[in-house]
Amino acid sequence: MKLMKLGSRPDTFFSSGPVRSVNTEVATDMQILVDGCLFRLHKFPMLSKCMWLQALCVESGDGGAAGVVELPDFPGGAEAFEACAKFCYGVTVTIGPRNVVAVRCAAARLGMTEAADRGNLAAKLDAFLSSCLLRRWSDALSVLRSTRRLAALSDELGLTSRCVDAVASLIVGAAVPATSSSSPWWASDVSELGIDLYCRVMVAVKAAGTVRGKAIGDALKAYTRRWLPIAAKNQHVAPENHRLLVEKMVSLLPEEREAVSCGFLLKLLKAANILGASPATKAELTRRVASRLEDVADVGDLLIPAPGASGATAPYDVDAVVAILEEFAPRGGGHRRSRSAESGRELEAAAVSRGAMVRVGRLVDGFLTVIAKDARTPLDEMLAVAEAVPNCARPEHDDLYRAIDTYLRVHPEMDKSARKKLCRVLNCRRLSEKASMHAAQNELLPLRVVVQVLFFENARAAGNRVAAGSPDDGDIRTTAGKDEDRPRGDGLAAGRGVAVAEGNEDWSAEGLRRAAASRVATLRMRLDEEEDDDEDAGGEAFVHRARPGLTRSASSRFAAVGKSKRMLSRLWPMSRTFT
């Protein structure tokens, strides 16, 4: 830390309670009250260097001898005034990074400029700043921090801008490429600044254009961790003044895509949501998160706390996630509107790799599974999230089916129309064999969905038979034996109340045909009854009865579904096709 000493005389100032005076043989003839401290001084040394005191004495008409001259709101207080008074007397004064701003502001208030006397205090302090303090990293930061106590006057005198420019120049001039695992060398020191000064420094650094966006992003992350516990620790309570910090951090984010991680952006979005940041701040964070959505590795990152969440409302802000997905949609090929437009959107998705699209689809389906477990999640929010994902992001619908199944079990009060509405987002063609087996026995699904599952599984089994050649009875027994060996209490069906008939069954070819025919006949009967109920009650009533299913292999359940042309014509009208 550099110091400067002004004057050469010994210190003759002494204190007597709240009174400060000079130990001389000449009686004092001026009294000045500063910040509760009374200074008894002499006119000649003070007026010779202080134009403001000269004008004050002229206005009073008596030279200031009649009473006490009070200086209210004096910058730097009594300590800064005493330093100026000692300079006038030629007494040694020590100036350093911690008091140079206060003394400089006091000298400006007293008018200690070159107009009053050559080589006055203000000029000496300016020269000390330029030639020494602002050229050293630690001293420049100390001086910049000290301007905060006298922010208005420091700005007026240009001290703050000089310090900001000096700190930014030191950062730019000594820029060292930061490693991927560490922040830049200057990030920790600059993080001690207040938000206003920090923003001015970072704006100056960005304007220079020589510091990489990654280094700036790491510095912003370090500052956020230092001053915003909600973003660093994912807490739900933070002081109100942190809202401004979030908005400032977002405004300083570099344009480079890789400057900050998507996880950090999501933490800022969570903080902005809780603290009530401006809509512009949230929109900017939403846009940036959408541009990096494929980099999100954990579903927990998408669990954005809802503002003002209570026991009666859902804890997560689903609308924020939908906004991210809508922003992501142009990159991923658009929204899911109809299966007939699927191929066109998959061509548009070329901007994002297929692997990245699949990661986004799995992430969103995982998010759906989490919010489906909450009984307070409305159906419209489930559908909004499910439909916001491009079709090409879901090569398989197993995770989506799991979310739908979870939602149906958590919301047993749903009527038939609501269940159908929810299941419309499910593409039965994209279910795996394991998921299809579970769906075929799931009494919570609408009957039409169950029949669709049976139909597509039957088509898949027929395709496999064509590829492998026509199977005989022995082949059927082999397939049945494989299915019999498969555990019936798998992860999809375990603990979900899916009833499966127990006991020995006839696994011969003839027995399998009879079981399949019986299952299809049962489905036809239930479908006819359901349609009759729809005609009588307008489709509003829905009664859910859990019925035990039949233990059956995948191939035996689907063998006779294609026999009923009337049922299939009802399920799939001629105007609707699946490609």
Whichever domain contains 76, its CATH number is 3.30.710.10
Q: What is the mean pLDDT of residues 432-440?
A: 91
Residue 435 lies in a domain: no
Q: Mean of the per-residue pLDDT values for the chain?
A: 78
d(CA 411, CA 405): 10
- Lowest mean pLDDT across 129-138, 355-364, 420-429, 502-511: 502-511
Clarify whether residues 109 and 248 are in a common domain: no
417, pLDDT greater than 90: yes
Among candidate residues 459, 439, 450, 451, the one with its CA nearest the CA of residue 555: 459
Clarify whether residues 71 and 27 are in a common domain: yes
Structural domains counted in the chain: 4
d(CA 454, CA 462): 12
Among candidate residues 133, 198, 196, 201, the one with its CA nearest the CA of residue 171: 201
d(CA 479, CA 486): 11
Clarify whether residues 164 and 305 are in a common domain: no
372, pLDDT greater than 70: yes
The one-character DSSP state at 276 is T
**pLDDT band per the 50, 70, 90 thresholds, residue 322:** very high
d(CA 173, CA 188): 17
471, pLDDT greater than 70: no
Buried/exposed 392-407: b ≥16 CB within 10 Å, e otherwise: bbbebbbbbbbbbbbb
Beta strands across the sheet bearing 13-16 = 13-16, 19-22, 37-41, 30-34, 68-70
107, pLDDT greater than 70: yes
Yes or no: say if 132 and 4 are a contact pair by the CB < 8 Å rule.
Answer: yes
**pLDDT band per the 50, 70, 90 thresholds, residue 495:** very low
**For position 527, what pLDDT does the model report?**
61
Name the domain boundary from 256, 272, 291: 291
- Lowest mean pLDDT across 166-170, 334-338, 413-417, 466-470: 334-338
Q: In this predicted model, which residue has the larger pLDDT, 32 or 499?
A: 32
Name the domain boundary from 375, 392, 426: 426
Q: List the end-to-end C-alpha distance of the chain, in Å, as a whole number.
A: 76
Q: In this predicted model, which residue has the larger pLDDT, 186 or 527?
A: 186
**For position 307, what pLDDT does the model report?**
81
Clarify whether residues 152 and 184 are in a common domain: no
d(CA 158, CA 156): 5
Residue with tokens 């008894």: 40
**pLDDT band per the 50, 70, 90 thresholds, residue 29:** confident
Phi, psi of 119 (to 5 degrees): 70, 35
d(CA 388, CA 322): 7
Amino acid at 278: S
| Long-range pairs for 51-60: beta carbons < 8 A, 24 or more residues apart | 51/110, 51/111, 51/112, 51/113, 51/115, 51/116, 52/109, 52/110, 52/111, 53/110, 53/111, 54/111, 54/116, 55/111
Tokens of 190: 């600059």
Q: What is the mean pLDDT of residues 240-265?
A: 90
Q: What is the pTM of this model?
A: 0.73
334, pLDDT greater than 60: no
The one-character DSSP state at 495 is T
Yes or no: say if 451 and 527 are a contact pair by the CB < 8 Å rule.
Answer: yes
- Grouping H, G, I as helix, E, B as strand and the rest as coil, residue 216 is helix
**For position 98, what pLDDT does the model report?**
94
List, as one string, the DSSP characters of 399-410: HHHHHHHHHHHH
Residue 541 lies in a domain: yes
356 by Cβ neighbours in 10 Å (0-12 / 13-18 / 19+) ranks as middle
Phi, psi of 416 (to 5 degrees): -65, -40
513, pLDDT greater than 80: no
Clarify whether residues 417 and 480 are in a common domain: no
Residue 432 lies in a domain: no
Clarify whether residues 349 and 317 are in a common domain: yes
Clarify whether residues 197 and 168 are in a common domain: no
**For position 325, what pLDDT does the model report?**
92
Yes or no: say if 201 and 184 are a contact pair by the CB < 8 Å rule.
Answer: no
Residue 433 lies in a domain: no
**pLDDT band per the 50, 70, 90 thresholds, residue 96:** very high
What pLDDT, in 10s, does the model give residues 386-404?
A: 999 888 889 999 999 999 9
**pLDDT band per the 50, 70, 90 thresholds, residue 459:** confident
Question: Residues with Cβ < 8 Å from 390, sequence gap 6 or more?
Answer: 329, 332, 333, 334, 335, 336, 345, 346, 349, 357, 361
412, pLDDT greater than 50: yes
197, pLDDT greater than 90: yes
Chain-centroid distance of CA 298 in Å reads 13
Residue 186 lies in a domain: yes
**For position 500, what pLDDT does the model report?**
34
Clarify whether residues 285 and 321 are in a common domain: no
Tokens of 102: 């206060």
Percentage above 90 pLDDT, the chain: 52
**For position 154, what pLDDT does the model report?**
96
d(CA 246, CA 234): 14
160, pLDDT greater than 50: yes
542 by Cβ neighbours in 10 Å (0-12 / 13-18 / 19+) ranks as middle
Residue 436 lies in a domain: no
Q: In this predicted model, which residue has the larger pLDDT, 535 or 124?
A: 124
Residue 344 lies in a domain: yes
Clarify whether residues 263 and 324 are in a common domain: no
Residue 371 lies in a domain: yes
Q: What is the mean pLDDT of residues 138-149?
A: 96
Question: Residues with Cβ < 8 Å from 542, sequence gap 6 or more?
Answer: 415, 416, 417, 419
Domain that holds residue 126: 1-174
**pLDDT band per the 50, 70, 90 thresholds, residue 518:** low
Clarify whether residues 388 and 419 are in a common domain: yes
The phi-psi region of residue 446 (left if phi > 0; otherwise alpha if psi is between -120 and 50; otherwise beta) is beta
Yes or no: say if 237 and 201 are a contact pair by the CB < 8 Å rule.
Answer: no
d(CA 16, CA 55): 29
What pLDDT, in 10s, does the model give residues 348-361?
A: 433 568 888 899 99
Yes or no: say if 413 and 544 are a contact pair by the CB < 8 Å rule.
Answer: no
**For position 242, what pLDDT does the model report?**
86
What pLDDT, in 10s, does the model give residues 69-80?
A: 889 999 999 999
Name the domain boundary from 291, 323, 350: 291
**For position 328, what pLDDT does the model report?**
87
Yes or no: say if 288 and 259 are a contact pair by the CB < 8 Å rule.
Answer: no
535, pLDDT greater than 60: no
Tokens of 338: 């109809």
Clarify whether residues 153 and 15 are in a common domain: yes
Among candidate residues 495, 507, 501, 540, the one with its CA nearest the CA of residue 522: 501
504, pLDDT greater than 70: no
Clarify whether residues 194 and 84 are in a common domain: no
568, pLDDT greater than 80: no
Q: What is the mean pLDDT of residues 494-513?
A: 40
**pLDDT band per the 50, 70, 90 thresholds, residue 230:** low
Tokens of 133: 């303090």
